[in-house]
Amino acid sequence: MQEAPFHQLPDDRSQPARAFWARADDGVRLRVAHWSAEGGRGSVLLFPGRTEYIEKYAPVAHRLMAEGYDVLCIDWRGQGMSDRLQPNPRPGHIRDFADYQRDVVEMLVAARDLDLPRPWHLLAHSMGGCIGLAALEGGLPVQSAVFSAPMWGINLRRVQQGLAIGIAYLAGRVGRGGFTAPGSGGAATTYPLDESFNANLLTRNGDEWARLVREAVAWPDLTIGGATFDWVSRALNECARLSRIASPEVPMLVSLGSEERVVSPQAIRDRAARWPQSELLEIPGARHEILMETDPLRERFYEAMLARFDAS
């Protein structure tokens, strides 16, 4: 495996991941990273959300390592250090949501090449939850699945889904599919740098927010801005498609914060209600990123997640 860069802030003395390059079958270069634990209890395949990058999940990986789990994480195509998909690298873009499954395949190839300890488990956040549900539909070989605020629907606020799909579709037809969609943030924006802590939709944890700001300043090339019309159109269509599939026969835990404003709470509740062997963990006071929330809220999720892994 060809080594790839992995970043750490100057005061971070934790064990770095081993990062390396992979290449999907359509030629897109991807960055994958592995944290190796000594416990041999199993491995966690970590699916990040939109705009995210591997380094953001280093604290999560170290917590799981302390429990004896190896962790494998990926930069999805179009973000982090993986290949960007159009000449302007800033907007979040995708040509077809099914392309993310090509990235999942390369992640599984890496997991097998690394001989990651079994059983394998899935931990997926936000957009990673959408990709993860599609991967489970395709037979992802995991013993259990844990989702943090999965994107099984998008919180469009006042815009109806059909109208949003139509607008995005028309933008693509007139050659503007690669342009940033209004309301998703500008192409040049970086959310932690352009939003105040008090108004942010992600976390109440000031220390975690400060870390995101420091990382965005230190590694601007890892960040992306708003989503393109094509991404919005493909994402909404994929959420609609997934809403119609049967639930996988895999034990599942899903968390939902009471202050969720990014993804659709109703889509999460609907899926949990028709998923056998599932648990819906609703957390009062939590925003979108429970893994980066205040300690008491985050600990509730970690305890439930580890219990789910241990029971599988």
pLDDT tens across 224-255, in order?
999 999 999 999 999 999 999 999 999 999 99
**85 contacts 59 by C-beta, under 8 angstroms:** no
Q: What pLDDT does 1 receive?
A: 83
C-alpha to C-alpha distance for 53 and 31, rounded to whole angstroms: 9
Look at residue 87 and tell me if it is in a domain. yes
C-alpha to C-alpha distance for 155 and 266, rounded to whole angstroms: 9
Look at residue 117 and tell me if it is in a domain. yes
pLDDT tens across 216-232, in order?
999 999 999 999 999 99
Give the relative orientation of helices 127-137 and 99-113 as an angle to the nearest 10 degrees.
Answer: 80
CATH of residue 118's domain is 3.40.50.1820
Q: What pLDDT does 167 receive?
A: 46
pLDDT tens across 57-89, in order?
999 999 999 999 999 999 999 999 999 999 999
Look at residue 78 and tell me if it is in a domain. yes
Q: What pLDDT does 169 receive?
A: 45
What tokens does 288 get?
A: 């979108």
> Does the pLDDT value for residue 98 go beyond 60?
yes
Alpha helices in the chain, H assignment, sequence order: 58-66, 99-113, 127-137, 161-173, 191-194, 206-218, 229-242, 265-273, 295-311
Average pLDDT over residues 140-158: 90
CA distances to 8, 193, 232 from 225, in Å: 22, 11, 13
Percent of the chain with pLDDT over 70: 90
Half-sphere exposure of 14 (CA within 13 A, CB side): 20
Looking at the structure of the chain, the number of domains it has is 1
pLDDT tens across 295-309, in order?
999 999 999 999 999
CA distances to 53, 154, 186, 289, 311 from 294, in Å: 21, 24, 28, 10, 26
**59 contacts 46 by C-beta, under 8 angstroms:** no
User: What domain range includes position 165?
Assistant: 18-311
**46 contacts 61 by C-beta, under 8 angstroms:** yes
Average pLDDT over residues 107-136: 98
Q: Is 307 helix (H, G, I), strand (E, B) or coil?
A: helix
